[in-house]
Amino acid sequence: MSFRRALAILRKEFRHIFRDLRLFFLVTVSPAFLLLLLAHLFVLDVQQIEMAVWDLDRSPLSRRMVAALTADGEFRVQFQVHSYSELEGLLRAGRVDCGLVIPSGFARQLEAGGPAPVEAVIDGSDPIAAIQAVFSLTRRVTAFSPGPAHSPPVLIDVRSEAWYNPALKSLVSMVPGLAAIVLCMPALALALALTREKEVGSFESLIATPVQGAEYLLGKLGAYLACGILGVLPVWLAAVLYFRVPFRGDFLLYLLLSAIYLLAAMGFSLIVANFVRNQQTAMLLVLTVFFVPSFFIAGLILPVDTHNILSTLVSYALPMTHFVAISRGVFLKGVGPAPLQTHILLLLGMGIGGLLLSLLLFRKRLG
């Protein structure tokens, strides 16, 4: 064995790693990146629960109970409502996770020795968050003591009701959310199709033709977008017929919103295809961006952490985050486009922005 030759190989490999930014990322940055993502798999605690309160009692005691519930910040009162229809509108739009209804006579019943009933209305479209909200809210309410410190708590009867998924079955929530992941496959196929032509050499033939870059990209995009929209139908059928997920929305609206999501995902694929020359790298990038974050930070398993600015920005930069909310909203809540307009506009911006950027970056030449 020659130490000099081994050192030469060592220097060559270092040059190769530092020259190829993708390889440098893979061997140095990607472990930490994956750790940040995979850590979310084992942290299944909901950090903050947005709540609406309907206080029919309007007594100092009811206000003290609400203040005690929200003292540590886990529960945050976002709205004061005055009817079930107003509460339902907030739950359907996803603006709150639960509602607390304090009936009239609450303070009087407590002062008489109880029990005093309160009602917790939970958004059951996300069972993990709903179960934690019910447990935490029940524990806090039943431990509430209107007397001095260290006095025994009084008896409060918490009656919980889950809307949109009364049985809190995880499958009912997960299947519409998983549609955001499985519908990434057309975007992956588009990235592979674009890079395959560079890899096998057929892109060289294109250079000699009068076909413009915009024509080439739009033709590719149109074909895969149409096939992707066609693929929404079996996804919908599997969810409704096989998994027995209730579909309460408009199918044509769901199809249109799925097309917007596919456009956003394919916009990213077009950008990726401008920078890579082989299918393996394209697949790695698409899977890293689409599949891994989808499970952990896109709201599929746990709600998006909106109290952390960095986490919110990363989550909202992913198309899956918006389609998870759209799919669950249309499937389970039967909402129209109005409550989902923020997600729809962001997906449209991603799709059109990705297409325009790929057109600007595309060059009909090798290298």
**For the chain, percent of residues with pLDDT exceeding 90:** 16
Residue-wise pLDDT tens digits, 52-85: 999 998 888 888 888 888 887 778 888 999 988 8
Residue 1 has pLDDT above 90, yes or no: no
Q: Rounded mean pLDDT of the chain?
A: 79
What's the mean pLDDT in 190-205?
75
What's the mean pLDDT in 154-162?
66
Residue 151 has pLDDT above 60, yes or no: no
What pLDDT, on the 0 to 100 scale, is given for residue 42? 46
Domains along the chain with CATH numbers: 49-163 (3.40.1710.10), 170-361 (no CATH)
What's the mean pLDDT in 225-248?
88
**How does residue 131 score in pLDDT terms, banded at 50, 70 and 90?**
confident
What pLDDT, on the 0 to 100 scale, is given for residue 262? 92
Among 18-27, 34-43, 59-68, 291-300, which is the least confidently predicted range? 34-43
**How does residue 350 score in pLDDT terms, banded at 50, 70 and 90?**
very high
Residue 178 has pLDDT above 80, yes or no: yes
What pLDDT, on the 0 to 100 scale, is given for residue 167? 65
What pLDDT, on the 0 to 100 scale, is given for residue 154? 53
What pLDDT, on the 0 to 100 scale, is given for residue 256? 96
What pLDDT, on the 0 to 100 scale, is given for residue 145? 62
Highest-scoring range by mean pLDDT, 194-203, 290-299, 312-321: 312-321
What pLDDT, on the 0 to 100 scale, is given for residue 150? 45
Among 45-59, 100-114, 135-149, 315-329, which is the least confidently predicted range? 135-149
What pLDDT, on the 0 to 100 scale, is given for residue 265? 92
What's the mean pLDDT in 12-22?
68
- Residue 352 identity: I
What pLDDT, on the 0 to 100 scale, is given for residue 353? 94
Residue 121 has pLDDT above 90, yes or no: no
- Taking the C-alpha atoms of residue 275 and residue 357, their distance in angstroms, rounded to an integer, is 12
**How does residue 258 score in pLDDT terms, banded at 50, 70 and 90?**
very high
What's the mean pLDDT in 93-101?
86
What's the mean pLDDT in 153-165?
66
pTM for this model (two decimals): 0.70
Q: What are the backbone dihedrals phi and psi of residue 101, each rounded to the nearest 5 degrees, phi first?
A: -110, 115
Q: What are the backbone dihedrals phi and psi of residue 143, each rounded to the nearest 5 degrees, phi first?
A: -90, -5
What pLDDT, on the 0 to 100 scale, is given for residue 8? 66
Q: Which of 68, 91, 52, 47 is nearest to 156 (CA)?
A: 68
What pLDDT, on the 0 to 100 scale, is given for residue 114? 67
- Taking the C-alpha atoms of residue 295 and residue 298, their distance in angstroms, rounded to an integer, is 7
- 287: tokens are 């899977």
3-state SS of the chain is CCHHHHHHHHHHHHHHHHHCHHHHHHHHHHHHHHHHHHHHHHCCCCCCEEEEEEECCCCHHHHHHHHHHCCCCCEEEEEECCCHHHHHHHHHCCCCCEEEEECCCHHHHHHCCCCEEEEEEEECCCHHHHHHHHHHHHHHHHCCCCCCCCCCCCCEEEEEEEECCCCCCHHHHHHHHHHHHHCCHHHHHHHHHHHHHHHHCCHHHHHCCCCCHHHHHHHHHHHHHHHHHHHHHHHHHHHHHHCCCCCCCCHHHHHHHHHHHHHHHHHHHHHHHHHCCCHHHHHHHHHHHHHHHHHHCCCCCCCCCCCCHHHHHHHHCCHHHHHHHHHHHHHHHCCCCHHHHHHHHHHHHHHHHHHHHHHHHCCCCCC
Of residues 202 and 105, more confidently modeled: 105
Residue 261 has pLDDT above 50, yes or no: yes
